[in-house]
A and B are shown apart, each in its own frame.
Chain A
Amino acid sequence: MLEKGKISAFDFQVIVLVFTIGSSILVGPGLLARFAKQDAWMASSLALMISVSFVFLYIRLASLYPSLTFVECNEKILGKWIGNMVSILFLSYFYYLSSGLVREIGDFLTTQVLVETPIQMIMIMFLLISLFGVRLGLEVICRTAVIFFPWIVGFLLMWFLFLIPEIKLVHIQPIFEGGIVPIIQGSYHSLGLPFLELAIFLMISPYVTEKESVKKAFYRGTFIGGIILSFLVTISILVMGAEFTARNTYPSYILGKKISIGEFVQRIEIIVAIIWLFTIYFKLTICYYGLALGLAQVFKLNNYKILLFPLAFLIISLALFSHPDIVHFHEFLDHTWTPLSLTICFFLPLFVYVIGVIRKKRAIENQSNTENI
């Protein structure tokens, strides 16, 4: 066993929740509003409902071999060569996701907050802290998430509360203007961001001690996270209107700028940035951790920590060189990310699951056959 840490179901739930919010909290509303206009909140809810089926698949897959990670499952089910190839395909997605997250952090901070700071510096600092977390192992990551969780919830509540006076109900009317098509389009795009990314938890679920409660924790984490996202999308539209939400790169940050309670509580947009930095930190760390652990399991190393520094270099360089500019990055998110996510995080696990079920059945049949003879 590479990872000796054990986490409880509650830890698992918190980390799933935080993972779901991370990064989508900033880019989600804009993306959805671009497609579904004032019906974006419906699109977001629809996406949440669809994504429950993904979680269902992941849970079924995880319960085939409850003590094995996805990478180990692959090898067991598909054999050494094909299994490892599938694993590498799966891990390359999370390699890309990690670098994408690092890129997002860099882009956001250099556009909105630290305009004159070089993006490399921000990326390196952030990844270093993440590396620190990954080195200390799963247990530490999850416990840290649990410690920061009340802060995230508190800030979110405060933020929503302060925005209530700014709400204008006319902004979400007329409901259902463009019909169902834009809503489906919108929800299709938010499937990849963030719900399909939850596949990384196939690497983590074996380390949860309470096997029975994993399912519940997974569902609950996803569901609460998704509801927070839908809520956020609704609030963005209610406060700023669909047009303005769609036009802004980081609508929720602008939302923070709008808060003004009696000329006293104002200019607290950085709270939004803090929520976002917390959540995206855990998202990045989980991806990074899953990636390192998976690679170590593919190559049968007895310690994943040796991979961390080389991976950090690879992630930073991919983050810097994968997209020449922000327009390219957003194009990529709009057009490529969801199909890619569907392939790697839905069809691939589905394929593995189907084969796994067949093999397991055969194994049982064979066993009973030999017993009969």
Chain B
Amino acid sequence: MKKKWKILMFYIVVLCLLTGCWSRKELNEIAIVTALGIDKSEDGYIISVQIINPGEIAGKTSTGRTEVVRFTANAGTVFEALRELTTDVPRKLYLAHLREVVIGEPLAKEGIGKVLDFLSRDHELRTDFYLTVAKGSPASEILNVQTALEKIPANKLFSALENSEKNWARTKTVKLDELIDSIVSNGKEPVITGIYVYGDHEAGGDFTNVQNVSPNIGLRINQLAVFKKDKLIGWLNEDASKGFNYITDNIKSTVVNVPCQNGKVSIETVRSKTSVEGKIENGKPKIHITINSEGNIGEVQCEIDLSNQESLHKLEEEYQNNIKDKVEEAILNVQEEYHSDIFGFGEVFHRSDPKAWKRYEQNWDEEFSNLEFTVQVEGKIRRLGTITESFQNETRE
């Protein structure tokens, strides 16, 4: 009998302990942050968060409220500002589902290192969100735009970044660990894709914006911001951005326009592979870039005889030149203007010749600016699409 009591007591104690959920948070107690904007203020940071309104997204009936809400707070550090938001937001912020961090341009110019520490230290944050720089407007304004099609603007940005990197190749997705890695590394400097608001800036937070067929305002990603260590020093133009992606072997698919007779031909790059080699020649570092690119004809706007191999070879040549020009332009542009090794050439030397790298490491920026390079492009056009000859030849009168 006594033993039975003992067992019963034991079960009761265990029951009390095994309920778990010491610090549970139910879904209706947390505010899921999808985007985080960080701007500079006079004595610290202005933090803006975009929180989703779960009832509006998942509920069967919509009440006409907005799907996302933006809050801002101003405090000395990022962490403090996020906590200060509790005075405004009725729920506790939950950062694990963050998709997008937008950094204001003035802050980026001053240095983003301090901000990144919080993002890397806090336990709720993962490293699977993308970082972008707000161009021309504060980050808080970027978060204040309602987007059409995607209910959650942060998701729109997330997929737009991924899609344009894959298909347009003038932007680049940057995650936290990669960014920190290139800030820390001496042989590589970071780039971050820029994002800006187009249209009527006033209309951003207005819900009616998304009720138009053509919204008055929207978000667009464009161009790459060049950094030196953690400071933004300038922007690459579109062609150079593409060149950058060619050099860093970040091209999945893109469109290349080449001239032909009195019009243009668009070639869709379907496969591209770049290898970068570093060599020391006569005591000077030298970079050799080899690009193997394969494409299909995407659009023909001129009179060209595509059944002829000769003319296809001519197109291939143009295709190669086009890529080569972009790559060279990108390197020269960065060498002259920014002196910042965003291509990671230093890392190439670091990997291939660690001993020599030790010599160059200290003043690599200078070495980089005078670095010699050669570019070799191997371009092939494989297929013509679903039609062979263009009917352009027939339209001529």
Interface residue? B28 (CB, 8 A): no
Number of A residues near B (Cβ < 8 Å) is 24
Expressed in whole angstroms, the Cα–Cα distance for A258 and B128 within the complex equals 7
On chain A, the residues within 8 Å of B181 by CB distance are 241, 243-244
Contact across chains for B127 and A243 when beta carbons are under 8 A apart: no
* Partner among A117, A125, A177, A240 whose Cβ is within 8 Å of the Cβ of B23: A117
Interface residues of B in 139-165 (CB under 8 A from A): none
**Chain B residues proximal to chain A, CB less than 8 Å:** 17, 22-23, 96, 120, 123, 126-128, 177, 180-181, 184-185, 347, 350-352, 354
Contact across chains for A266 and B128 when beta carbons are under 8 A apart: yes
CB A180 to nearest CB in B, in angstroms, measures: 14
Contact across chains for A177 and B354 when beta carbons are under 8 A apart: yes
Contact across chains for B22 and A116 when beta carbons are under 8 A apart: yes
Query: Known contacts being A111-B123, A244-B181, is A125 close to B17, with CB within 8 Å?
Result: yes
Contact across chains for A243 and B184 when beta carbons are under 8 A apart: yes
Expressed in whole angstroms, the Cα–Cα distance for A67 and B381 within the complex equals 77
Contact across chains for A244 and B22 when beta carbons are under 8 A apart: no
Interface residue? A257 (CB, 8 A): yes
Interface residue? A173 (CB, 8 A): yes
Query: Known contacts being A174-B352, A244-B177, is A254 close to B127, with CB within 8 Å?
Result: yes
Secondary structure class of chain B's binding surface, majority of residues: helix
Expressed in whole angstroms, the Cα–Cα distance for A96 and B374 within the complex equals 61
Interface residues of A in 146-193 (CB under 8 A from B): 170, 173-174, 177
Expressed in whole angstroms, the Cα–Cα distance for A241 and B350 within the complex equals 14
Expressed in whole angstroms, the Cα–Cα distance for A197 and B128 within the complex equals 37
Interface residue? A92 (CB, 8 A): no
Contact across chains for A260 and B180 when beta carbons are under 8 A apart: no
Expressed in whole angstroms, the Cα–Cα distance for A174 and B123 within the complex equals 31
On chain A, the residues within 8 Å of B22 by CB distance are 114, 116-117, 121
Expressed in whole angstroms, the Cα–Cα distance for A254 and B121 within the complex equals 11
CB B119 to nearest CB in A, in angstroms, measures: 13
- Sampled A-B contacts (11; CB under 8 Å): A113-B123, A114-B23, A115-B123, A174-B351, A240-B177, A243-B180, A243-B181, A243-B184, A243-B185, A257-B126, A258-B127
On chain A, the residues within 8 Å of B120 by CB distance are 247
Interface residue? A317 (CB, 8 A): no
Nearest B residue (CB) for A168: B178
Expressed in whole angstroms, the Cα–Cα distance for A102 and B229 within the complex equals 40
Expressed in whole angstroms, the Cα–Cα distance for A189 and B17 within the complex equals 38
Interface residue? A322 (CB, 8 A): no
Nearest B residue (CB) for A258: B127
Expressed in whole angstroms, the Cα–Cα distance for A240 and B351 within the complex equals 16
On chain B, the residues within 8 Å of A343 by CB distance are none
Known contacts A173-B351, A258-B127; 6 further A-B pairs (Cβ under 8 A): A113-B123, A116-B23, A117-B23, A241-B177, A257-B126, A260-B128
Interface residues of A in 112-126 (CB under 8 A from B): 112-117, 121, 125
Nearest B residue (CB) for A243: B184
Expressed in whole angstroms, the Cα–Cα distance for A247 and B127 within the complex equals 14
Contact across chains for B351 and A170 when beta carbons are under 8 A apart: yes
Expressed in whole angstroms, the Cα–Cα distance for A267 and B185 within the complex equals 28
CB A305 to nearest CB in B, in angstroms, measures: 15
On chain A, the residues within 8 Å of B347 by CB distance are 170
Nearest A residue (CB) for B23: A116
On chain B, the residues within 8 Å of A258 by CB distance are 126-128, 177
CB A233 to nearest CB in B, in angstroms, measures: 17
**Chain A 298-327, CB within 8 Å of chain B: the 1/0 string?**
000000000000000000000000000000
Query: Known contacts being A116-B23, A240-B177, A244-B177, is A174 close to B350, with CB within 8 Å?
Result: yes
Expressed in whole angstroms, the Cα–Cα distance for A112 and B350 within the complex equals 34
Contact across chains for A115 and B128 when beta carbons are under 8 A apart: no
Expressed in whole angstroms, the Cα–Cα distance for A29 and B184 within the complex equals 19
Expressed in whole angstroms, the Cα–Cα distance for A247 and B23 within the complex equals 28
Expressed in whole angstroms, the Cα–Cα distance for A113 and B23 within the complex equals 10
